Amino acid sequence: MIPSYPRNPKNNENGGGSAGAALQKGEKSLSAARLGTAKEFLERALAAFRKSGDSSREGQCLLKLGRTLELMGEYPRARETYEAGLKIFLHSGERSNLALLKGYLGNVAWATGDYAEAARLLDEALFLFRESGDLTRQAWVHDLMGNLQLALREDQQAELFYRTAFSLVEERGGNMENRAWNQYHLGTLAFFRKDLTQARERFVEALGFFDRLKDELGQVATFIHLGEVGCDQKDFPEAKKHFQKAVQKVLPTQCKPLLADALTGVARLLKAQGDERKAVGLLMVALSHPTCRQQTKDRMVALSVALEARFSSREMETGFHWAKSVSMEEMASAWVSGISSKTGGGKKTKG
The yes-or-no verdict on residue 315 having pLDDT over 80 is no
189, 134, 127: which is closest to 162 by C-alpha? Answer: 189
The yes-or-no verdict on residue 321 having pLDDT over 70 is no
Length of the chain in residues, anyone?
Answer: 351
> Which of 345 and 97 is assigned the larger pLDDT?
97
List pLDDT tens digits, range 218-245: 999 999 999 999 999 999 999 999 999 9
pLDDT computed for residue 341 by the predictor: 59
Domain locations in the chain as residue ranges: 251-351
pLDDT computed for residue 295 by the predictor: 92
- pLDDT-derived band at 287 (thresholds 50, 70, 90) equals confident
Angle, helices 216-232/256-272, rounded to nearest 10 degrees: 20
pLDDT computed for residue 6 by the predictor: 63
The yes-or-no verdict on residue 317 having pLDDT over 90 is no
How far apart are the C-alpha atoms of 25 and 328, rounded to whole Å?
28
Averaged pLDDT for residues 302-328: 70
The yes-or-no verdict on residue 346 having pLDDT over 50 is no
How far apart are the C-alpha atoms of 219 and 197, rounded to whole Å?
19
The three-point CA angle 99-42-113 to 5° equals: 50
Residue 103: helix, strand or coil by DSSP? helix
Residues 265-303, buried b or exposed e (16+ Cβ, 10 A)? bbbbbbbbeeebebbbbbbbbbbebebbbebbbebbeeb
Q: State the pTM of this model.
A: 0.89
**With pLDDT > 90 as the criterion, what percentage of the chain qualifies?**
69
**79 and 105 Cβ atoms separated by less than 8 Å:** yes
